[in-house]
Structure 1
Amino acid sequence: MSELVGSIWWMLVALGVLVTFHEFGHYWVARRCGVKVLRFSVGFGKPLWSRRDRHGTEFCIAAIPLGGYVKMLDENTLDEGDAPVAASDRAQAFNRKPVAQRIAIVAAGPIANLVLCVALLWAMFVVGKQDYSATVGHVQGLAAQAGLQRGERIVKVGDREVATWSDAATALTIAAIDGQDARIEAESADGDVSTHTLKLSQLPAGFDQENVLGLAGMAWQFQLPPAVIGKIAPGSPAAASLQPDDQITAIDGAPIHDLADLQAKVAVLGQRGGEAMVEVDREGERLAFPMAPRRMKTPDGVEYWGLGIEAKATEMPPYDALQRLNPLAAIPAAFRETGKIASDSLGMMRRMLVGQASVKNLSGTITIARAANASAERGLGWFLWFLGAVSLSLAIINLLPIPVLDGGHLLYYLIELVKGSPLSERAMAAGQYAGLAALAGLMGLALYNDILRLPF
């Protein structure tokens, strides 16, 4: 399945599940409060299928699969052409219900997404989510100064325990955005635990917040391909001796673990000058050739020391970490994971509001669709995690005090609860316009960020 088709398909699947569950929360509580629900629609537009239950609610699947809605009997939101609410039905109208019940009905949607998030993460832990461990591959710069070593596995960043590379990367990025040094606990292959201080506070002002680890001089082990030759430039230092598919294993006796290691050692050799013995593995045979790097240029004109080789494209290594628990142990783990995702999301929102975090961290539909496809390709555990994270995001976003969202309605009802009477129609209309403007601005910014991330 192509990335475009896959992204569209899995995005529609995600929206269908999450929005339907959100709207079901509104529907379920509305029915318990005695509100007449006129329609429960999955999707928008012309119904493709529908049926009506004994309570008079029309359930339908519509032509445009981009969300859904619940339409309740409400004297204040009659569509053009709707008949006035009959006197016998007024007691079932949403606007006639006590403010506490209206608050419960509106809050039920985000709460449903929160409950779904916990359930999905529980299922993720039971099914199991494969990932890569937070094992350090290449270090230089701040990471080398901190004493981190190749092969060490990061187990804790500050007070936060980490199980995978993504956990560690998130914790380190947050510390960098906050301008704080990160205290890291790492475990060697022999089981020895050491503590390091990564001085992220020394990153330059205005640093790229999407590349914190690269700026700190650290790469994960799984990200570094072996130094296997794909192509050799004619007339280059490597042309006379090396062949495609050779794997470079050492330079002057110093082992080469991966491509980044090769680049660093070639640069040192070039600055030193002279030849060095380049050792390779050629179909199981160990060979060595004298070679001296030469100054070369990238296509955009940047000079570097090189041997004239291009690395062979390799597949990702097998996963070396698995998050899987029995059904009972998965229950508290799901709640902890939900709390961690919520804390990270709310913290990032706060940092963007106060200007600490770049608004480039804001993502829209395109990025979410691509993430949906990528997670589905990585397996059921990853897709369950993705659904849980997006469900929680929907809950948080819908609770923002923006009038067109659930949070805005809750704000109106809380004001009504305090002052004893509803806001005026003029005040609510002004709030709706302001909310639409704010939401349009956020969506526009998110779309702009999505376009910048596209691999043109």
Structure 2
Amino acid sequence: MSLLIIIPAFLVTIGILVTVHEFGHYWVARRLGVKVLRFSVGFGKPLWTRVSKDADRVEYVIAALPLGGYVKMLDEREFDENTQIPEKELHRAFNRQVLWKRAAIVFAGPLANFLLAIAVYALTFVLGVDTFRPVVEVRKDTPAALAGFQTGDTLTAINGEAVTSWDDLHMLLIEDYLTSPRLEISVTTPEGNNVQRVLDLGDKPMFKDETDFLNKAGLGLWMRGIGIAGVLEGSAAAQAGLQAGDKVLSVGGTAPQSVQDFIQIIQQHAEQTIALQIRRGDNDVSINVTPQSKDLDGKTVGSLGANVGAYMTDAVRAELAFTQRYGVFDALWLGMVKTKQMSVVTLKLMGRMLTGEVALKNISGPVTIAQFAGTTASIGLGAFLGFLAIVSISLGVLNLLPIPMLDGGHLMYYLVEWVKGSPVSAEVEAVGLRIGMALIGCLMVLALYNDFMRLMN
């Protein structure tokens, strides 16, 4: 993907998230009477500065390093012995505020990120979210197949909660799995029967790597179209004349319903010639292919030597694709529901990282964020807004963790102050600051390492 898309999309994403987060601190501070000295988006050398014309002379800054920002407030602890705050302004110093005011100012930053996510989700629902009906393809020898799911099933509810779209299915499966790996799923079969099936994922490590959750469960969107993505040199596919981009219409006179059906037919015809009907561009071509024998788990099966993938046919797209669109009030409610879902899932996944159930390689840094920003921006406004909401929620949750340096660390100190009746000592804050810097530093190194490994792979 071009850097001409990635870099602007990344700067817009970070700029919006940082500005909204810091504006939360700024807005509440000013409403509660605390004097704000500087509002900075970014760190380091100022690239743009403006001073407000009111009595407070607030300095607004855009700085060179965009990965963060800060709101500097009047605070006696930040002045040396030779500098004193004028007596008439002491009551506006942050450190002189009562406990609830300080806590409200600190909490306002993460809260602003959650409110942004709600607003963005609501906007996407008002504009319309393009999605698909939850009709699944089931991969062989996976938890879904063992549970009795079949290709063509429509999933209608998970643990009693309705599923209306593919996006709902993905989110509800993860959310409910993190509560219990045993999922009760309501299904409408291709024949129109309503049945209940139990998907038990208790024995499968679902987050040990970055493989898609649904793929591990054995479920995929039933796209029905089967295509040749690549052909290995010297393989049966190459000898028969198959090419990357060919679309499989039939095998031995039968139209396979899924990639798994196609693979299974090929495996059953080792060293046997079979007729393929192929669409190549605008032309239909008949090709005879003889799958080569290979050993698979102690059995001899046929192999094409080709990369086979699914694609969505126009007919299936017309059948499954639809747009979710709601009025303003319904969209706001759904925005709150989705923000709550994402917040809970994010927090649970963070917790499971501590127990080792979720691999640390799932942590992403600025490079991965930039790539996703560019990808979603190239797809369209709806995709980019969805990405923006997810990152905003992640930023809000991360900042509420009880780690010194983060907003959650300050709130932890305020909780101690409320319990013991006096602020924590300067020595404790200094030790906490060093611990927080070490933890954040380690997290940043890990995130950058994961980014680097993703680029290498």
TM class by shorter-chain length?
0.7 to 0.9
Q: 2:107 aligns to what? A: 107
Deviation string for 1:203-238 (max 9, x for gaps)?
37996563444444433224x752358768568477
Moved more, 282-291 or 145-154: 282-291
> Is contact 1:342–1:392 with CA below 8 Å preserved after alignment?
yes
Q: Is 1:13 matched up with 2:18?
A: no
Pairing 1:22-421 to 2, within 5 Å after superposition: 22-47=21-46, 48-54=48-54, 55-78=56-79, 83-141=83-141, 142-173=143-174, 180-188=181-189, 191-203=192-204, 208=209, 210-222=211-223, 225-227=225-227, 236=236, 239=239, 247-270=247-270, 274-280=272-278, 291-295=289-293, 305-307=302-304, 320-421=321-422
Moved more, 371-380 or 284-293: 284-293
> How far apart are 1:63 and its partner, in Å?
3.1
Change (3 A) 1:81 1:323: farther
> Is contact 1:266–1:306 with CA below 8 Å preserved after alignment?
yes
Q: Partner of 1:210: helix, strand, or coil?
A: coil
Moved more, 357-366 or 396-405: 357-366
Deviation string for 1:109-162 (max 9, x for gaps)?
112222222111111110122134332124311333322222222232334433
> How far apart are 1:46 and its partner, in Å?
3.0
Change (3 A) 1:160 1:449: farther
> Is contact 1:250–1:280 with CA below 8 Å preserved after alignment?
yes
Change (3 A) 1:140 1:175: farther
Q: Partner of 1:183: helix, strand, or coil?
A: strand
> How far apart are 1:176 and its partner, in Å?
6.1
In 1, Cα distance between the equivalents of 2:72 and 2:321?
49
Unaligned runs of 5+ in 2: none
> How far apart are 1:387 and its partner, in Å?
1.7
Structure 1 counterpart of 2:76, which letter? E
Structure 2 counterpart of 1:219, which letter? G
Moved more, 5-14 or 182-191: 182-191
Given the two structures, how large is their TM-score scaled by the length of structure 2?
0.85
Change (3 A) 1:155 1:58: same
Q: Partner of 1:140: helix, strand, or coil?
A: coil
Given the two structures, how large is their TM-score scaled by the length of structure 1?
0.85
Q: Partner of 1:356: helix, strand, or coil?
A: coil
Structure 2 counterpart of 1:8, which letter? I
> How far apart are 1:245 and its partner, in Å?
6.5
Structure 1 counterpart of 2:147, which letter? A
> Is contact 2:139–2:260 with CA below 8 Å preserved after alignment?
no
Change (3 A) 1:99 1:196: same
Number of residue pairs the alignment of both structures matches:
447
> Is contact 1:245–1:312 with CA below 8 Å preserved after alignment?
no
Identity of aligned residues (%): 37
Change (3 A) 1:208 1:177: farther
In 1, Cα distance between the equivalents of 2:356 and 2:95?
40
> Is contact 1:227–1:258 with CA below 8 Å preserved after alignment?
no
Deviation string for 1:322-353 (max 9, x for gaps)?
22211122121111111111121122122222
Structure 2 counterpart of 1:19, which letter? V
> Is contact 1:50–1:61 with CA below 8 Å preserved after alignment?
no
> Is contact 1:175–1:200 with CA below 8 Å preserved after alignment?
no
In 1, Cα distance between the equivalents of 2:59 and 2:237?
75
Unaligned runs of 5+ in 1: 298-302
Change (3 A) 1:357 1:178: farther
> How far apart are 1:402 and its partner, in Å?
0.8
In 1, Cα distance between the equivalents of 2:205 and 2:42?
47
Moved more, 373-382 or 312-321: 312-321
Moved more, 201-210 or 259-268: 201-210
In 1, Cα distance between the equivalents of 2:82 and 2:386?
43
In 1, Cα distance between the equivalents of 2:237 and 2:455?
37
> Is contact 2:37–2:59 with CA below 8 Å preserved after alignment?
yes
CA RMSD of aligned residues (A): 3.4
> How far apart are 1:175 and its partner, in Å?
6.1
Change (3 A) 1:190 1:94: same
Q: Partner of 1:101: helix, strand, or coil?
A: helix
Deviation string for 1:151-200 (max 9, x for gaps)?
22223233443344344344445666777233222234565433222332
Change (3 A) 1:53 1:44: farther
